[in-house]
Homo-oligomer: A and B are copies of this chain.
């Protein structure tokens, strides 16, 4: 294949390359080499295969494209610009304007260093942390398969689409990508295509320094169809590879493309110097000469945008209008199904979604919040068809199975079910949940609380992308008991509360569980985390104590004294009943005590100042917080005089009822701490 700009294909490919070089140079930071290498790959996919209408970038039936190697962000900004992808706001504005590209990596430019889904229409998911994009693409492919198998009907082949992810060796080295690939292979997601940029270069040098896998063989072992393209510049081979993917109906496809980083750059091609820094003006000039590129900086020849309009644009428009006609026929024939699907895609909760929210009777013996949580989850999910999810092989323990008729299982040979088996792969489970959520669903995922550490990178992306993924973490403290310190969360509440834009709920009894789920469902711009117990919690007498609906405000006065309290007790989760006991003891002892239940610190902080001060009056400095974790996230409410009853070290292996006294987490200790705090 000729190097220079001798055909419209080549001109368009070089437009992607030159825009990328120019933008990185102007920003004086960024990654030029990969966009230059992969321009022909992305070009071939977008112009010849991707079913996507640039004028309707949120069309539900579109194919998805994920740039997993997010550092190559200029590739997707260039593509979005050249393809003329519009903003989703209905305006006629381009999603990425040339001025946005000129301001690549500058404050307020949508063209951020790495692609941010909430910044730019057409970015299907935020990428940058390696492995996340490919893992998230599995969730998108599952969403497509789910609607295809659940909603299509005889003679109505409406739903389902393909998902493409472009990835680097870095993506494939990260464990999360193997986890996700294993899930995809197991589930036979034939609508999923990963394209691996095999460029033999990493930041430290040649991939030979650390990476000598037979990637193809590994993926065959994972149940994938593998195709090799020996030259990223060979459009014929690339087209054949994509055709091979589309012809494969029983497994996902990996296309391994041998590429040269910074292809065409006379001195920097095939060097790791071209990975993460501008090429420099001189090298750019020389490279443009190699490309036969005669235009000024940032100039995009009209022929190239016209070419995209004539190829992807025309194909996408036709596919979309076809789809709309098919959907109209479907809607007429199957109005209930069509309405359900539309309801899901609206992102709104159905009316009366919380009609069957359980109310639990007072019960001193009580119920584990994982168990009440399972009931509440089922009561909601039955009415909310967008809810689907599962566990990392712990469903019998986390109690997160959807048990109602029609819930079904999402299995290798049947993709229509709402219960998913993620296997012992917490990290990819969360990335997949992000993909499901980006596809319009309200996914939930579950594991033991201590293993939230395994999925933090994906949870952080849920928070950055403002995705209402629900994380259900059970076995939430030393209450785990015999499994010992490796299985007992201590620092995890604090560690999660530190993340911006996350709501962490740790309900104190079954009715707070109900109210916490309700509040979590109403949050649509952030992930929610349910932190639930293994052990039983008494169900409080809500005639005697305040109504559990207070949980909707994050924190509320559960029991009070008359007049100004001498001391305020604060508690969450399994320690709430200890605090109740302490409150009763203090009250009986004539101490004026207030008890605040604080199932969600983040929601409490969102309340207005008057409410917050009404719950935690500034002039009451004697305070005690009790929680079977570290103190860190309570210090804000304790001040210098407050006391904390909780953990200072890792846990131990023993029956749970011995561990609480062993670590000094008892009602007596709360009473002592209260008296000490009052004494000042």
Contact = CB atoms under 8 A, between A and B. Distances in A.
Interface of A: 27, 29-30, 70, 105-109, 112-114, 116, 126-130, 169-170, 173-179, 182-183, 185-186, 202-204, 209-223, 391, 393-397, 411-412, 421-428, 450-451, 453-454, 456-457, 460-461, 463-464, 481-487, 490-491, 494-495, 497-501, 618, 621, 630-633, 635-636, 639-640, 647-650, 652-655, 658-659, 662
Contacts of A109: 653
Contacts of A202: 393, 423-424
Contacts of A485: 112, 116, 464
Nearest to A647: B500
Given A128-B487, A203-B396, 13 more contacts: A108-B654, A129-B450, A174-B425, A182-B211, A202-B424, A210-B422, A210-B423, A217-B217, A464-B650, A494-B498, A621-B640, A631-B636, A639-B639
Contacts of A393: 170, 173, 202-204, 210
Given A105-B654, A654-B106, A129 B486 contact: yes
Copies of this chain present in the complex amount to 2
A481 B175 contact: no
A424 B635 contact: no
A209 B411 contact: yes
Given A220-B217, A487-B113, A174 B179 contact: yes
Nearest to A634: B635
6 contacts: A108-B654, A114-B486, A173-B393, A183-B210, A186-B210, A632-B633
A173 B425 contact: yes
A608 to B, nearest CB: 17
A27 B658 CA distance: 13
Given A649-B500, A649-B501, A174 B486 contact: no
A213 B203 contact: no
A579 B126 CA distance: 35
Given A453-B460, A482-B29, A632 B494 contact: yes
A302 to B, nearest CB: 30
Nearest to A105: B482
B175 A179 contact: yes
Given A217-B217, A635-B636, A209 B427 contact: no
A222 B460 CA distance: 30
Contacts of A658: 107
A34 to B, nearest CB: 14
A598 to B, nearest CB: 15
A214 B221 contact: yes
Nearest to A112: B653
Nearest to A276: B397
Nearest to A490: B500
Contact of A175 (B30, B176, B487): B176
B483 A114 contact: yes
Most central of A175, A215, A649 by chain B CB within 10 Å: A175
B395 A204 contact: yes
B209 A214 contact: no
B412 A212 contact: yes
A220 B216 CA distance: 11
Contacts of A630: 498, 500
A640 B618 contact: yes
A206 to B, nearest CB: 10
A568 to B, nearest CB: 13
Nearest to A423: B210
Contacts of A425: 173-175, 210
Nearest to A648: B500
Nearest to A497: B632
A356 B87 CA distance: 59
Most central of A128, A204, A461, A618 by chain B CB within 10 Å: A204
A208 B564 CA distance: 61
Contacts of A218: 217-218, 221-222
A500 B650 contact: yes
Contact of A495 (B450, B454, B487, B499): B499
A196 to B, nearest CB: 13
A424 B169 contact: yes
A446 to B, nearest CB: 11
A593 to B, nearest CB: 20
Nearest to A644: B636
Given A204-B393, A210-B393, A451-B129, A220 B221 contact: yes
Most central of A70, A635, A662 by chain B CB within 10 Å: A635
A394 B451 CA distance: 27
Contacts of A129: 450-451, 454, 486-487
Nearest to A177: B175
Q: Pick the 6 closest A-B CB pairs, nearest first.
A: A175-B175, A218-B221, A217-B221, A210-B423, A635-B635, A112-B653
B453 A396 contact: no
Nearest to A425: B173
Nearest to A214: B221
Contacts of A394: 203-204
Nearest to A391: B204
Contacts of A456: 453-454, 456
A635 to B, nearest CB: 3
Contact of A105 (B112, B211, B457, B653): B653
A500 to B, nearest CB: 5
Given A173-B182, A202-B423, A500-B491, A112 B484 contact: yes
A397 B203 contact: yes
Given A113-B487, A128-B484, A174-B425, A650 B221 contact: no
A486 B434 CA distance: 15
Most central of A174, A461, A490, A500 by chain B CB within 10 Å: A174
B114 A650 contact: no
Contacts of A659: 107
Contacts of A500: 490-491, 630, 647-650
Contacts of A173: 179, 182, 393, 423-425
A226 to B, nearest CB: 10
Nearest to A494: B498
A396 B204 contact: yes
Nearest to A188: B212
A221 B211 contact: no
A214 B182 CA distance: 10
